[in-house]
Amino acid sequence: GDVDLLAARLTSEPKSRGSQWCRAAVRTALKLRSALAALPVLAEALRGTDTAAHRSALLAEAHTVLSHTSFAELLGSLDGVLDGDGPQALGQAGSLAHVALMYAVRPNVSPLLDIARQTWNDALEQIHMLHRGYAEKHPELRIKLEYAERRGWYLSHAVQDRPKDFLHTASKGSSGRQMSTTRELGSENFKLRQAEREILAQTVAVLSNLYDVLRAEAALLYRGSHI
């Protein structure tokens, strides 16, 4: 039942489009594309039963529904916008999944989206430069750069006397390490989040052009999901 659930999420209109809703909408579009891409394999498997002497009417109907040309057209519409060659890590967690979300839409589809992503890239590069500087200055701390969706990018380091410019230091769970930030890192995280909001908004704006197509095929998507 995933296909009709994913389609319903994409075609429903929320009261407000906050960052969390935008993230969910982008992930949903990617999952729907994956589901549609799997349908031809299922249809081919069902077609292989054509030679069976007692092929059931239910299997015949399932093959007919899953082979409907509209599914291929919907997949083509999604592939025309979503980047199949970009980072593929939405099933994972942390920074890899986050980068995949930022690059869900192909480049050169939306100039505003491309500009927002360049701003995001610049801030991310600066964050990595800051980390390298801290690591070189304080090798005894064994500093790592880590990411959490709520906190953003932060410094993970050994439990020792922290430098004065390390702020908001706290224990990092049961890892035996601590996590901190700095004013410079906080500033770049702020720029990054501003760019992320714009990326998500522009990504959803691009996907919105597909909503009418999905609504028109809602009945077919529902049938396909209940095979």
Other C-beta atoms lying within 10 Å of the C-beta of residue 78:
21
68: three-class secondary structure by DSSP: coil
Cα–Cα distance measured from residue 74 to residue 53, given in angstroms and rounded to the nearest whole number: 34
Q: In the prediction, which pLDDT does 73 show?
A: 82
Helix 19-47, helix 183-208: angle, nearest 10? 50
Q: What digits encode the pLDDT tens for the residues 178-216? A: 999 999 999 999 999 999 999 998 998 888 877 777 776
Give Cα separations from 98 to 22, 76, 82 (angstroms): 13, 25, 15
Helices and strands of the chain, counted as H and E runs: 9, 4
Q: What is the pLDDT of residue 140?
A: 94
Note the pLDDT of residue 53.
44
Which range is most confident: 9-18, 82-91, 165-174?
165-174
Classify the C-alpha dihedral 70-76-81-86 as positive or negative. positive
Q: What is the pLDDT of residue 35?
A: 79
Cβ neighbours of residue 146 closer than 8 Å, sequence gap 6 or more: 153, 154, 155, 156, 179
- Could you tell me the two tokens for 67? 């082979």
Q: Where does the pLDDT of residue 100 fall: very low under 50, low under 70, confident under 90, or very high at 90 and above? A: confident
Q: Which pairing describes strands 177-181 and 144-148: parallel, antiparallel, or unpaired?
A: unpaired
The amino acid that residue 112 corresponds to is L
Any idea which of 46-50, 51-55, 90-94, 221-225 has the lowest mean pLDDT? 51-55
**Gap between the Cα atoms of 202 and 120, Å rounded:** 13
DSSP β-bridge partners for residue 146: 154
